[in-house]
Structure 1
Amino acid sequence: MTSPSPSRSGADRCPGLLAPFVSADGAMVRLRLPGGRVDGRTVAEISSLATRYGDPALTLTSRGSLQLRGLPDPLPRALIDAIGDLGLIPSGDHDRARNIVADPVGSLDDLIAALDEGLLADPGLAGLPGRFLLAVAEPDGPALAEPWDIAIVDDGSAARVVVDGRATTVPRGQVPATALELARRFLAARVDERTWNVRDLPADLRVGLLPGGAPFVADPAGPPAPGALGDDLVVLVPLGLLTAEQAGALAGPRGPKPLRLTPWRSIVVPGGAGRAADVAATGLVTTPDSPWTVLTACAGSPSCARTDTATRDLARSAAAHLDPAGTPVHVIGCDRACGHPTRAHVTSLNPTSAADVVAAQHSSIRKA
């Protein structure tokens, strides 16, 4: 995370926040946390702001970032300044062009920081579309299962930079610059403003992004399961909604290592394995046998104007009746299926009761 300049106000640093996305339940601010790395105390402060100004629960996103929802429109100046002072949006110009997902392992922290620093230093890269996704992963790491455009695959000494199924191997110190050069080539080849991703380019233009690259095929592992991971703790956040109490529990004692938010609505707490009981007492999931490992939902009513279905409430009612070893279920209020996981799953469209959600999982089991 880039530190803000003390000579500029939060509002000056965050012009993008002056035009938030407005939904049925109020304005929403999307924060940008490259690779999901963020200090635990900062998350607690963001949660305090959410409680003060809008929906008290922070939303974890499928990009390993955070959203504040239910905010007033227009945003209060004090909120804009407070977010800016936390240093979470050091470049308003690059606000849309900072989607970096990463495996939640500490060995990648330096590559993520260097990649983001290089991105912010180039005004031209502010033109990357909001859906353009950069990934940083270990060989066959779970982040490679996400719909990335350019990936960095690091084995600790050298690394591969990958685009459109082709890779080039470069010394580790040259990796961020190589990845960003590919992003510039994408911008140069971009056909129009509807060309959001590399896969939208014509085939001949895709080949030109990395001529002569070696074929690359990933076999990504699944996301880390809730529970101890060595000295660290993997924490699943039910429905991706993090309360102030939970944020405080995750922050724990002040320390130098940041939390690692994942694209799978989980958080890795470095050195947190010994705090599992305290974290679980707040309603967060720290064991792999929870039904929340197979249950997700879109925002639903009243947060979304597209549906009258209270998807999250129905998911909460159904949770205790689902089989943690069964097929994952995504509860949705319309056929857009927002927030759906990348893994195989079934959907429960516009359920009227918790029983409908449970039936969706059971019907998939019967067909298997």
Structure 2
Amino acid sequence: MSTPTPSRSGADRCPGLLTPFVSADGAMVRLRVPGGRVDAASLLEISSLASRFGNPDITVTSRGSLQLRGLPDPLPRELITAIDDLGLVPSGPHDKARNIVGDPHAGLDDLVTALDEELLADPGLAELPGRFLLAVASPDGPVLAEPWDVAVIAPPLPEPTLPEVRRRSLEGTAQVVADGRAVTVSRARAAATALDVARRFLAARTDTRTWNLRDLPDEDRGDLLPGGSPFDVVAGDPPEPGPAGDDLVALVPLGLLTPAMVEGLREVAGSRESSQGSSHLDQRIVVTPWRSVVVPGAAGRAEELAAAGFATAADSPWTVLTACAGAPSCGRTTTRTRDLAREAAPFVDVAGPAVHVIGCERSCGHPARAHATALNPTNAADVVAAQHEKA
């Protein structure tokens, strides 16, 4: 992917609100979806905006967030207003402080919300680098395998949201983990404790190339989490496509959420809301860091979402096959990486190692797990060969 550069004309048109970036195929905006939590109605509106103003496919990122690409530069005022109305860009100063990843369990929503609200309430935290990553996870949660800087780990709340149940649950504890050490705090204090680590990181940071805690010198990392004890992080596996209890995990091939996919989600969410006597598409959907979505109560709707373009079975080739944006979206390469990945999909070994198709050595969008890389392949056979070499 080409290195995006701030669009001065776009920024001038929307000072303090939304800063677009420009790549080979036009302007791009990153939407802020903390912990991947988004409702079906908002997702439908995002898809409508993408189709009206740019590339109709929404890009699902490896941080569980969303991007709109191929937009005009400068951004149309109507688009800026619509994104702001959806609450997807909190403020100009905090435009880059979007990186909160979370396990998809509904019982962690309270911690995601608290972390997000306290992050946005502190203007100083707007100085966090765009690569700085906060995580909210259950013990042994799969999101712990991601390259986070500070994590809040706690048992999920019970599903009921009655005030007395939530009040009692908040009296429990959580662990805040950073740089291999952890402290145990009350659940209510977890977000503040995690953000104190972020503030200490900013105080110790001496240059703009220091992106993450691990970039600090050893002598500057010892005081990031006062009172911390050594902690071994154990991460579970990401949820496989298919039913997960009453819910459905639906993988988004190549991380491109098409209008047909969003329409499929609308139909599933709409029918479920209708059966519960509601006329609003307020169903919570979680966008995961593994380029999938978790749809509550949709375990029996796998065939419908598969017909819309999702991968809803564990034996899908898209469980092992990914690609960077490639040409024509990226000016660094002429390799049409996504097209080659689609051509290779029927031939890759689903039981083999993951393989990531890339157009240059930057390896943008690569999965966090071990994987093979197919650099500038010329055909599908090159992609398959790269996977076999890794096996």
Task: Give the TM-score normalised by the residue count of structure 1.
Answer: 0.93
Alpha-carbon shift at residue 19 of structure 1 (Å): 3.3
The aligned counterpart of 2:185 is: 170
Length, aligned pairs only: 355
Q: Distance in 2 between matches of 1:356 and 1:269?
A: 35
What corresponds to 2:257 in structure 1?
Answer: 242
Note closer, same or farther for the CA distance 1:275–1:93 as it changes in structure 2 (3 Å cut).
Answer: same
Correspondence for 1:321 among 347, 360, 369:
347
Whole-angstrom distance in 2 between the partners of 1:13 and 1:218: 45
In 2, distance between residues paired with 1:14 and 1:209?
36
Which one-letter code corresponds to 1:214 in the other structure?
Answer: S
Q: Deviations over 1:44-100 (max 9, x none)?
A: 110111111111100000110000001111111111111111111122211111210
Offset at 1:362?
2.0
CA–CA distance in structure 1, aligned partners of residues 187 and 13 of structure 2: 32
User: How far apart, CA to CA, are the structure 2 residues paired with 1:204 and 1:18?
Assistant: 37
> What stretches of structure 1 move > 3 A for 4+ residues in a row?
11-19, 254-257
The 5 Å alignment of 1:59-74 reads: 59-74=59-74
Following the alignment from structure 1 to structure 2, what is the Cα–Cα distance between the partners of residues 13 and 25? 20
2:221 to 206, 231, 240: 206
Equivalent residue in structure 1 for 2:369, among 315, 322, 343: 343
- Mapping 1:222-233, distance limit 5 Å: 222-233=237-248
Question: What is the correspondence of 1:1-368 to structure 2 with a 5 Å cutoff?
Answer: 15=15, 18-156=18-156, 157-251=172-266, 252-253=269-270, 254-365=280-391
TM-score, structure 2 normalization: 0.88
Contact residue 47 and residue 58 of structure 1 kept, 8 A: yes
5+ long unaligned stretches in structure 1: 1-10
- Opposite residue 88 of structure 1, the aligned amino acid is L
> What is the CA–CA distance in structure 1 between the aligned matches of 2:282 and 2:377, rounded to whole Å?
45
How many Å separate the matches in 2 of 1:106 and 1:15?
35
Q: Mean Cα displacement is larger for which, 73-82 or 252-261?
A: 252-261
Cα pair distance change 1:76/1:14, threshold 3 Å: closer
1:158 CA displacement = 1.2
Give the SS at the match of 2:136.
strand
Q: Determine the C-alpha separation between the residues in 1 that align with 2:136 and 2:91.
A: 21
Alpha-carbon deviation of 1:13? 12
Q: How much does 1:361 deviate?
A: 1.4
After superposition, the C-alpha distances for 1:329-367 in whole angstroms (9 at most, x for unaligned) are 1000011111000111100010001111111112223xx
- Would you say the 8 A contact 2:40–2:282 is kept in 1? no
8 A contact 1:237–1:266 mirrored in 2: yes
Q: What CA distance in whole angstroms lies between the structure 1 residues aligned with 2:198 and 2:376? A: 39
Distance 2:14 2:88 in 1: 9
CA contact (8 A) 2:42 2:86 kept: yes
Structure 2 segments unaligned to the other structure (5+ residues):
1-10, 157-171, 271-279
Aligned equivalents of 2:248 and 2:14: distance in 1? 33
Answer yes or no: is the 8 Å Cα contact 1:14–1:90 preserved in 2: no
How much has 1:155 moved relative to structure 2?
2.4
User: Distance in 1 between the 2:359 and 2:65 partners?
Assistant: 23
- Using the alignment, how far apart are the partners of 2:140 and 2:95 within structure 1? 29
Matches of 1:295 and 1:301 in 2, distance apart? 18
| Shift of residue 256, structure 1, vs aligned partner | 4.1
For 2:128 and 2:390, the matched residues in 1 are separated by: 39
Q: Could you list the per-position Cα deviations for residues 222-262 of structure 1 after superposition, in whole angstroms to 9, with x for gaps in the alignment?
A: 11000000011000000000111111212321454411111
> Residues 246 and 284 of structure 1 are in contact (CA less than 8 Å); yes or no, is this contact kept in structure 2?
yes
Aligned CA distance change for structure 1 residues 155 and 18 (closer, same or farther; 3 Å): closer
**In structure 2, the residue corresponding to 1:175 is in which secondary structure?**
helix
C-alpha change, 1:81 and 1:175, in structure 2 (3 Å) is same
- Pairwise CA RMSD: 1.6
Identity %: 68
Q: Deviations over 1:200-221 (max 9, x none)?
A: 1111110011133111111211
User: What residue identity is the alignment partner of 2:214?
Assistant: R
